[in-house]
Amino acid sequence: MVLHRSSLGAISVLLLAAFSSPARAQTDVQPQGSQQPPAQTPKSGSSKSPQMAKPPSPEEELQMALSDAGNDRASLVRNLEDYLKKYPASPQRSQIYRALVEASLQLKDSARAADYAERIVSLNPEDVSITILAIQLLEQQGDEAGLRRAVSYSGRVLTMVEGTSPSEKSPRISTEEWAQQKKRDRMSVLALRGRLELKLKDTSAAQQDFTASYAILPSANAAEQLGEIAELNKDLNTAIQQYARAFALSESVNGNTGRRDIRRKLGNVWRLAHGSENGLGEYLLQTFDDVAKSAAPAAVRRNAGIHEFSDFVLRKALDGTPYPLKDTKGKVVVVNFWATWCGPCHALEPLFARVAAEFQATAGALFLSVNCDEDETLVGPYLQKAKPHTEVVYADGLDRLFSVDSFPTVIVVGRDGKIAFRSNGFEPDTFEHDLSAAVQRALPNPPPAQ
């Protein structure tokens, strides 16, 4: 939504093309080698006077102003401003203002660029891109009157964003994509207005806008600003909460000075509140988990309210078809809970597959690999590459039933639907033997102990 300088580029060329006079172009250009006829001198005593030269039209004067400037931006500004003094109500003034904005930006004259950007906004109040450019330029100027106008423009942009409807979206994007973009735009405009309000020392209004921005889509910027406001208000607990959110949401890339600064701010208020940084690490991890949950789209809670293993209906990971567990009654079911991001899970898979192959001919034993990824789009590509040898299904709440909170976790469900064996993590040297023995014990008529 922000208008980049490049999008204003070549406006002078467009103006020149738009206001060129075809008739003049035809008469001014002569074929090579041709000569114009000599001017006719009136005969002595003739009653006819020489024809007066026709004055150029406003369009022709604009063409000359552009042509005379060439590639000289300073000359272009001077010529166009002279033209506007002569023709202040020119029907082309909106395009001329745009050309002046572009040239002023090239000349790093942000004050002049802001002036003409605001003139465009006055003529075209629904031009979102130029309105945002005007806001940015006024913010650069930093004077109180300009900042207040920028706040007003921000409110206007917010109203326009909130008033858009799906009927206005591009056919190239889905309704869901359009709705998400609208949320991002609302979040950005509220944060922009909050930043302007902070510069005007209106912390109450800024806090309200940053809070609204964060509620629409959590962002590190809004959280950090809310942390700073809370710190100024001596509300250390709120400052800690907001700085921790900002730290969790900021990008963790090398050289990210923003994240380092947030870490310093967080450490400072934590020490002020607690005397040392003891406990800060645990608090950050909890905040990270909370932020991740709130930022993620709401997950469908499958098999909610079901408490019996055999009543669950899972989904096959490859095609999503239902996989009911009702047919597992009376069987021993061996369940491997895993995730694509879990390294030990990858190491466990071939060991689990070998134990499954050992009981392949046993009708009373069933082996399942149960995926627990929050982002299911990762699973298909992983399975195509890994090609596991056991049936793969999504957890769909089964991990909730068995309180699985670490990976890998392998559970043997006995014929009565109760847990007969459980392994949180695994020992590579003993896993196969231990799991095989557990399955044997859970089967009917197990062999006598040796």
What is the tens place of the pLDDT at every residue in 187-220?
999 999 999 999 999 999 999 999 999 999 999 9
Tell me the C-alpha distance between 117 and 140, whole Å. 13
Instruction: For residue 244, name the pLDDT band (cuts at 50, 70, 90).
Output: very high
The predicted pLDDT at position 300 comes to 74
Instruction: For residue 50, name the pLDDT band (cuts at 50, 70, 90).
Output: low
Average pLDDT of the segment spanning 9-19: 41
Residue 340, SS3?
Answer: coil
What is the tens place of the pLDDT at every residue in 80-94?
999 999 999 999 999
Which of the residue ranges 22-36, 158-172, 239-253, 309-323 would you say has the lowest mean pLDDT?
22-36
Residue 142, SS3?
Answer: coil
392, two tokens: 């793969």
Query: What are the structural domains of the chain?
Result: 231-297 (no CATH), 309-442 (3.40.30.10)
The predicted pLDDT at position 445 comes to 72
Which letter does DSSP use for residue 360 in this model? T
Hey, how many other C-beta atoms are within 10 angstroms of the C-beta on 251?
8
Q: What is the pTM of this model?
A: 0.67
What is the tens place of the pLDDT at every residue in 271-315?
999 999 999 999 999 999 888 877 666 567 899 989 999 999 999
pLDDT at 55 over 90: no
Residue 419 bridge partners (DSSP) = 413
Average pLDDT of the segment spanning 32-46: 46
Half-sphere exposure of 157 (CA within 13 A, CB side): 29
Mean pLDDT of all residues belonging to the chain: 87
pLDDT at 26 over 50: no
Specify the DSSP element, H or E, that contains 323: strand 322-324
Phi-psi bin for 353: left (phi > 0), alpha (psi -120 to 50), beta? Answer: alpha
Angle between helical axes of 144-162 and 110-123 (0-180°, round to 10): 40
Tell me the C-alpha distance between 417 and 402, whole Å. 11
> How many residues are there in the chain?
450
Residue bearing tokens 């910027």: 221
pLDDT at 376 over 60: yes
Residue 25 bridge partners (DSSP) = none
Which of the residue ranges 36-40, 293-297, 413-417, 439-443 would you say has the lowest mean pLDDT?
36-40
Tell me the C-alpha distance between 416 and 404, whole Å. 20
The predicted pLDDT at position 35 comes to 46
Own/partner contacts of 378-384, CB < 8 Å, gap of 24 or more, are 378/340, 378/341, 379/317, 379/340, 380/317, 380/318, 382/340, 383/317, 383/318
